[in-house]
Amino acid sequence: MPPPGPLLLLLQLCAAAAPRCPRACICTSDLLSCAQRGLQQVPAALPPTATALDLSHNALVQLHRRWLAALPRLQALRLSHNLIAALPPQAFHNATALTHLDLSSNCLRAVEPHYFEGLLRLEELLLYNNGLLRVDERAFVGLRSLRKVYLSWNNLTRFPFRAVQGLTHPHLSTLDLSTNHLSSIPVEEVAALPASIRNGLYLHNNPVRCDCSLYQMFWQWQERQLSSVQDFLEEHTCVASDTRARSLVRFLQYKKIFENCSQSRAPPGTPETHATALVGDPLLINCNVSTPATPAYLWVSPRHEPIMPPGNSNRTVEVYRNGSLKISAAEPWHAGVYVCMALGKHHQLHKTHEVNVTIRYPTLDGESFSTGLTTLLGCVVSLVLVLMYLYLTPCHCFQGGKRAAAPSPPQECSAQSSILSTPPATDGPSRKISSSRHVAFLEPTSGTIGLAAKNPKLLQIKSDSDSVSSVFSDTPVRP
């Protein structure tokens, strides 16, 4: 066999040097998908032509340094739904073309300054649902192309807003901090943000305390029709009580309550009151707030709706002058935590008090069981008496206390006195007989009704000196 030519050897060497598609992945011209493969490590050799790499829904625990050095064209990297708890230095080295990075649904606890070094073209950064506790002020330094950052569904108690002030991120338009644990928002720092950032600054679903400055800031954003407020109007709530985050108030839907308010905390350690009522029973809840002069009271329902004096429109819930709340007829949907707020002259919030209302259905105790049994027995006895009246009523065959004359036919007094009898043999042909299987009904000729059966039995009236009785006879009785 002749030795291979130089061109053939060069092609073989190039084919051996070029990395092939990993077995656990699917490769196309510039797309590489390794999702849902149960990978615990990143495949060793990746095609350098890939512009999008999907490693989501695996079991990756860590990423090695410079692991993207062989992918200079990479633009989108998806690492969501893994077990990554930290990123090493130079984790994204040489990924200078990367614009989309998805690290959501991992186990990151902090965002350190070195995590995203070198990502000069990064535009979208997804970090939601990680359990983040802290974001370093220098975490986004150098990311001048950054447009959208998603940090929702984490455990952040604060955020360094000063890190995104000025012109450090001129293209930033979305900063999602919703559904975290932010108890306070630095209004001055947020107000200093560029207008483009405020339009996409999402702060809803955070347990922030009710504050006048906070309300005024969001109210101005609503007046300017900012999408961050308009799109989630009902989710913007504040905590009216420091004890628990259950007493939330949708402050943007009820402006008149908070227009002139000022923050005032409830005394620490205030015990929570419990109230219980049965379905259909009235319930009175007291507002245990001791203030020297409280001109007005306000209740917040479990549905985060305010209840102001005198109550709701149909008066099923009323608020008295002393602050007490009355529910005329308790229903299951009335259960929950009610918050009483004592307001000053200018709707200043003095103190708050929580009441946990429980609504129960009545149980079948001994008294109710006895009442039901008595009613049932009464119905049965009444039914028996009616049946006895219908079927056991005696036949009154006397008229004025005198005996009926012998020649006259018997008088029908009830259903029990109807006796089958045969017509007399002397009946004329004018009598019409309507026969059936058992009984024949004869039309009366002289105002009386006669009955006949197939086996004729004649009913005769036998007079006696002591009594009058009706007897059956198989043969006609001769006079």
CATH number for 355: 2.60.40.10
Query: How much is the pLDDT for 336?
Result: 84
Query: How much is the pLDDT for 129?
Result: 97
Last residue of one domain, picked from the residues 360, 391, 426: 360
Place of tokens 């007829």: 329
Give strand pairing partners of 238. 249
Name the residue among 243, 350, 357, 346 with its Cα closest to residue 290. Answer: 350
At 429, is the secondary structure helix, strand, or coil? coil
Separation in Å, CA 457 to CA 24, 272, 407, 460: 105, 91, 18, 10
Q: Domain for residue 233, yes or no?
A: no
Alpha carbon distance, N-terminus to C-terminus of the chain? 150
Last residue of one domain, picked from the residues 340, 360, 380: 360
Q: Domain for residue 292, yes or no?
A: yes
Q: Domain for residue 444, yes or no?
A: yes
Taking only the tens of pLDDT, the chain with its 479 residues reads 445 555 444 444 444 445 678 888 999 889 999 999 999 999 888 888 899 999 999 999 999 998 998 899 999 999 999 999 999 999 998 899 999 999 999 999 999 999 999 899 999 999 999 999 999 999 999 899 999 999 999 999 999 998 888 778 889 999 999 999 998 899 888 987 877 788 899 999 999 988 778 888 888 888 888 888 888 988 888 887 655 545 678 877 766 666 555 444 443 444 456 788 888 888 888 887 655 565 678 888 887 788 878 877 777 888 887 788 888 888 888 888 888 877 766 555 556 677 888 888 876 544 444 455 567 777 788 888 888 777 776 655 544 444 444 444 444 443 343 333 444 444 444 444 444 444 444 444 444 444 444 444 434 434 444 443 433 444 444 44
Cα–Cα distance for residue pair 334/357, rounded to 1 Å: 8
For residue 293, what are the domain limits? 273-360
419 and 356 assigned to the same domain: no
Q: Domain for residue 326, yes or no?
A: yes
pTM equals 0.55
Q: Tokens at residue 398, please?
A: 């006397």
CA 243: distance to chain centroid? 25
277 and 354 assigned to the same domain: yes
Query: How much is the pLDDT for 219?
Result: 83
Q: Domain for residue 455, yes or no?
A: yes
CA 301: distance to chain centroid? 16
419 and 355 assigned to the same domain: no
Please tell me the total count of domains within the chain. 2
Query: How much is the pLDDT for 10?
Result: 44
Place of tokens 């656990």: 24
Cα–Cα distance for residue pair 92/117, rounded to 1 Å: 7
Beta pairing, strands 148-150 & 450-453? unpaired
Query: How much is the pLDDT for 441?
Result: 44
Q: Domain for residue 329, yes or no?
A: yes
Query: How much is the pLDDT for 152?
Result: 97
Give the helix/strand (H/E) hosting 354.
strand 349-360
